[in-house]
């Protein structure tokens, strides 16, 4: 295992209960572990991805990742302030006001996430419950098999069972399912390891995904028994054994490829894309694309079914090419240029900027904003002493509802289809 300075050290770890021996383990210590929880779906199903990722340039985080980080930080601050308010009466508004941004949507959605945690996870009580925010847990610390849990709580339920509940907050648009979710299972095993290190065990782990911007439910929950977590733990160590002991790069494509930064150089992925679309990816000039209106319905359906995989692969190719250019090894015929620069206020200088503007005749340089919807609902409920549902109905009368965007999904999706033009014409004839 490499330490932070890059020195190779010896490490022993257990696979399926047996010590596999001293190993020279190579890990990337640039902020992320090779065997982290957020990428567990990939490295468990495709151990070979670890070997490819060691060879490709590390790509810089994009705008979406930065936005997600800010949303997590905002929820972390709000949640900590809210629980401190419930425990000790610490003023909530005074604590969270310094983190307010111009992103009203993020402010409101993190409010909504806080409400879901309080009502559904904590069931509006923190009595006799242990909890933590953004704590890191390990399945195996020597292998850096660990990750940060957004929020967790441990308590004894009404049946005398020790229960843990962990929350994974997702700010992206791409819907993530709570079922058979490797990241949640990884965190559950790691949290259980932490509890076991204190001579206790867990009977059940509740796993929650809160994803306010996705088209699917913004709150999903599943659970794992202790026996199920034993099975997951063996699966994680089996993959670690494949990578660090056998050191055989086995590859397998699937949904886990979507966020893999090695897609552009993965032969298995290229073969899959070529086979599914009947395209020769190494020579696009030989592929003549027809007019969409002339394509048979059967083929259009096939393209729609494979759309995510194709777009994910093309995005990975562009990201890889951009990183090559950034490092000075551009691909033939391509170069990296700067986009348009946009103005923004200097950070941490608002008071001085406002003073200068007032001295030059600006009467009021600040815009006043209403508090977030979730925060106002809780405040109204507390002040009037009414249930949360009634407070929500009171606030809703002052709200405009946004028009939901349209999206194309398979017929198996449980949502009700919108009325199309033929439907509306038929209703008009009646």
Cα separation, 316 vs 332, whole angstroms: 18
Residues 6 or more apart in contact with residue 101 via CB below 8 angstroms: 70, 74, 107
For residues 204 and 223, membership in a common domain is answered with yes
> Are residue 79 and residue 176 in the same domain, yes or no?
yes
Q: What pLDDT is attached to residue 255?
A: 86
> Is 308 within the bounds of a domain?
yes
The verdict on residue 138 lying in a domain is yes
Q: Are residues 76 and 181 in the same domain?
A: yes
- Asked whether residue 223 falls in the same domain as residue 318, the answer is no
How many distinct structural domains can be found in the chain? 2
Residues 6+ apart with CB under 8 A from 1: 8, 9, 10, 11, 25, 27, 142, 143, 144
The answer to whether residues 225 and 76 belong to one domain is yes
Determine the structural domain holding residue 309 and report its residue range: 255-287+300-325
Q: Rounded to whole angstroms, what are the CA distances from 221 to 166, 207, 317? A: 10, 6, 35
pLDDT value for 2: 26
Whether residue 83 lies inside any domain: the answer is yes
Is 115 within a domain? Answer: yes
Write down the pTM of the prediction. Answer: 0.68
Examine the domain organization and report whether 238 and 270 are in the same domain.
no
* Model confidence pLDDT, tens digit, residues 27-64: 333 445 799 999 999 999 999 999 999 888 877 777 88
317 and 183 in one domain?
no
> Is there a contact between 163 and 64 (Cβ–Cβ < 8 Å)?
no
Beta strands in 241-314 (DSSP E): none
Is residue 231 included in any domain, yes or no?
yes
Residue 121 and residue 97 share a domain: yes
Residue 339 lies in a domain: no
**Residue 225 within a domain:** yes
Whether residue 103 sits in one domain with residue 146: yes
% pLDDT > 70, the chain: 86
List all residues 6 or more positions away from 213 whose beta carbon is below 8 Å from its beta carbon.
Answer: 109, 171, 172, 173
Q: What's the CATH number where 153 sits?
A: 3.90.320
pLDDT < 70 positions in the chain: 1-32, 215-216, 275-290, 420-430
- Within 8 A by CB and 6+ apart from 305, the residues are 410
Residue 165 is inside which H or E element, if any?
Answer: strand 162-169
**One domain for residues 207 and 259:** no
Instruction: Tell me: do 164 and 236 sit in the same domain.
Output: yes
Considering the domain architecture, whether residues 199 and 279 belong to the same structural domain is answered as no
Which pLDDT belongs to residue 31?
46
Straight-line distance from the first to the last Cα atom of the chain, in angstroms, rounded to the nearest whole number:
73
318 assigned to some structural domain: yes
């Amino acid at each position: 295992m490499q330490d932070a300075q890059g020195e190779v050290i010896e490490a022993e770890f257990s696979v399926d209960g047996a010590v596999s021996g001293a190993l020279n383990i190579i890990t990337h210590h640039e902020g992320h572990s090779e065997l982290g929880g957020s990428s567990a779906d990939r490295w468990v199903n495709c151990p070979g991805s670890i070997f490819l990722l060691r060879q490709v340039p590390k790509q810089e985080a994009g705008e979406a990742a930065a936005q997600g980080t800010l949303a997590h930080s905002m929820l972390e601050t709000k949640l900590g302030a809210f629980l401190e308010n419930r425990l000790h009466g610490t003023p909530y508004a005074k604590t969270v006001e310094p983190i307010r941004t111009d992103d009203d949507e993020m402010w409101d959605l993190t409010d909504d996430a806080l409400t879901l945690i309080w009502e559904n996870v904590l069931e509006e009580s923190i009595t006799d419950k242990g909890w933590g925010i953004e704590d890191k847990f390990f399945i195996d610390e020597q292998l850096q098999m660990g990750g940060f849990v957004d929020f967790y709580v441990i308590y004894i339920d009404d049946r005398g069972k020790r229960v843990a509940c962990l929350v994974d907050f997702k700010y992206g648009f791409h819907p993530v399912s709570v079922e058979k979710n490797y990241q949640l299972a990884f965190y559950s095993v790691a949290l259980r390891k932490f509890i076991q290190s204190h001579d206790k065990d867990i009977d059940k782990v509740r796993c929650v995904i809160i994803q306010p911007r996705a088209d699917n439910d913004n709150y999903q929950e599943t659970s794992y028994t202790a026996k199920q977590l034993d099975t997951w733990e063996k699966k994680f160590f089996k993959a670690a054994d494949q990578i660090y002991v056998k050191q055989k790069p086995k590859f397998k494509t699937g949904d886990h490829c979507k966020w893999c930064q090695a897609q552009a150089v993965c032969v298995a992925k290229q073969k899959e894309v070529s086979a599914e679309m009947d395209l020769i990816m190494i020579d696009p000039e030989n592929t003549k694309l027809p007019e969409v209106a002339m394509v048979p319905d059967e083929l259009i359906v096939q393209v729609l079914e494979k759309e995510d995989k194709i777009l994910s692969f093309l995005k990975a190719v562009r990201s890889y090419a951009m990183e090559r250019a950034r490092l000075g090894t551009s691909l033939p015929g391509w170069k990296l240029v700067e986009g348009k620069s946009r103005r923004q206020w200097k950070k941490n200088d608002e008071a001085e900027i406002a003073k200068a503007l007032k001295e030059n005749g600006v009467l009021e340089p600040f815009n006043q904003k209403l508090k977030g919807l979730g925060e106002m609902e809780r405040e109204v409920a507390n002040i009037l002493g009414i249930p949360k549902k009634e407070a929500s109905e009171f606030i809703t009368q002052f709200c405009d509802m946004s028009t939901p965007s349209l999206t194309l999904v398979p017929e198996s999706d449980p949502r009700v289809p919108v009325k199309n033009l033929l439907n509306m014409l038929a209703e008009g004839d009646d």
